[in-house]
Every structure is written in structure tokens, then in C-alpha cells.
Amino acid sequence: MCRLFGLSAAPRQVRATFWLLDAPDSLSAQSRRMPDGVGLGTFTAHGSTRVEKQPIAAYKDAQFAREARERESPTFVAHLRYASTGGLELRNTHPFEQHGRLFAHNGVLEGLDELDAELGDYGGLVHGDTDSERFFALITQRTDRHGGDVTAGIADAVRWLADRVPVYALNLVLTTDSGLWALRYPDTHDLFVLERAAGGPHGGRHLDHAGRAGIRTRSAELAGFPAVVVASERMDEDPGWRSLAPGELLHVDGRNRAQVTTILDHPPRHLLTLAQLGETAAASQRGR
């Protein structure tokens, strides 16, 4: 399945090094395990977005993902894509940018014709073929309706989707230059959060997180500063990792304060099972 990673140290700009495909030997053992795309989203000191991403249509493309990238940003979002809709093209690779926000998604939703009709003029924000970018455009639309309130926009968009179209999973990470949001919905996939104290549980330790399926990040500066981390899996031995409950939306504000709100307490009206997905979509959602 796709892998999500988010980190906020806001309001501080911190340096972190990312390898979007770590452990190349294990990943290259079987070509079917290679992701279909990788991406990293950060913000400059002036608040501008920086998106680095690459579809992996051939083995040689994986070199992009294995290169170490040291970036400085208050928030980070990284994504490994296993394609469910849309071809292996740059425009279909996460994260996506809209209105100065960055977004990555793990899951599948159907009913795209109905969603396109609901988007109206906001459909112009969609440059690729994915359900994910359409989901993001709906959040952008709803955020504008709520006067720029991202929390309200996500809640509105997710409730509309849960009521109107078939949904398999809507797990997401959304970042701005001063905030991070993460949603787990419904209970299809896990999404973990760690409110990490400066230096980790024992103090004085740099951050060094590595997922089984790829994403790895290190930050020496987080030996001295707190951060909030979100990931599709627990990425180290810190006992503070916990799973978001289905329907919980995490918001980390510009002072690194985390708040969790339950925005839905019931499953989607049209909850899809793995067996109901097409072959490509089903393959993208299985554990790897």
C-alpha cells in the first residue's frame, strides 16, 4: 500500500535528510515491490512550496528516490505511491500542491464522475488522473467555503465523500508552512502519530526513523527540539507511537501543539472491500 509520512517542528525551520527509498537491496529483490512514484514536499523560509517527486516507470528511475536530500522546513510530507488510478506520470505523483498547501493520500475512492461534478470550477486544480488529486481539490473547495479553515474544510470534504461515493480509504497528510493535518478514515489502514519530545524518550537523541517499505529520515536538530511525526507504520522503538482511531483528524498548529478531533464516528455509506476493487487498485492497497 502507499506510505505516508509527515513531520512538523513548526514554528522552527529544521534540517532533515530524506531517503525516499531506503534499503535498496531488499526493495530491488523483486521488481513488483518497487513503488510507482515517490515524493517529498517542504516549505522555504519564505513560505513557498517545494515539491520533489518522480514517477518510477523503470528501474533506473529509482536512483532519484535513493539519493539523500537534506532540506530545511517547518513541515515535511513524503509519500511512496503504489498506483490505484492514473498512469506513472509526474502529474499523478504525490504530493500535490494547491493554494500553498501540500497533500498526500493513501487509499481509493470511486464515483469520480460525481466528484468531478461537485468540484465545478475547482476541477481546474486537477492536473492529473488520480482520485487523490480530486480529493485534495474537494478539500480546497470546502476550505475556501469555510473562510480558509483547513480543519473544517477537511471535515466537510470527508463527510461529503463518506455519504456520496464508494470509499475504500481516505488516509491523508496535508501540510502548510505552519501546520500539519493527518486523517485516518475509515479503519482500513493504520495511521500512527508520535508527539516526540526534544531528544526522544530518553533525551539527547537525534531523530532517525526508517520504515520497512522505504522512507527514512534523520534530523540532528531534533535532538534539541520537539516534533510531531505521522506515518503509516511505527518507525522506531519510541513507546509514544499511537494509532489514530478511525475518523480522527490530527491538527498540529504553528506552535507545535497537537489536537485530535473525531470528524466521523461511522463508516462510509458505501464502504468498499478489497474484493470490490479493480485489480490495479487492489494491488495498490495490499500490505507490502
**Tens digit of each residue's pLDDT (9 = 90 or more) over 104-135:** 999 999 999 999 999 999 999 999 999 999 99
User: Residue 4: what pLDDT?
Assistant: 93
Q: Give every strand in the sheet of 207-210, ordered side by side.
A: 69-73, 14-19, 216-219, 207-210
24 pLDDT more than 90: no
31 pLDDT more than 70: no
**7 phi, psi to nearest 5 deg:** -145, 135
- Give percent of the chain with pLDDT exceeding 70: 91
**Tens digit of each residue's pLDDT (9 = 90 or more) over 195-213:** 999 998 888 899 998 877 6
Are 132 and 105 within 8 A, CB to CB? Answer: yes
CA 88, CA 81: separation in Å to the nearest integer?
Answer: 10
CA 166, CA 112: separation in Å to the nearest integer?
Answer: 9
Q: Mean pLDDT of all residues in the chain?
A: 90
Q: Give every strand in the sheet of 49-55, ordered side by side.
A: 49-55, 37-43, 75-81, 3-8, 227-231, 192-196, 242-243
Side chain identity, residue 11? P
- What number is the average pLDDT over the span 260-272? 96
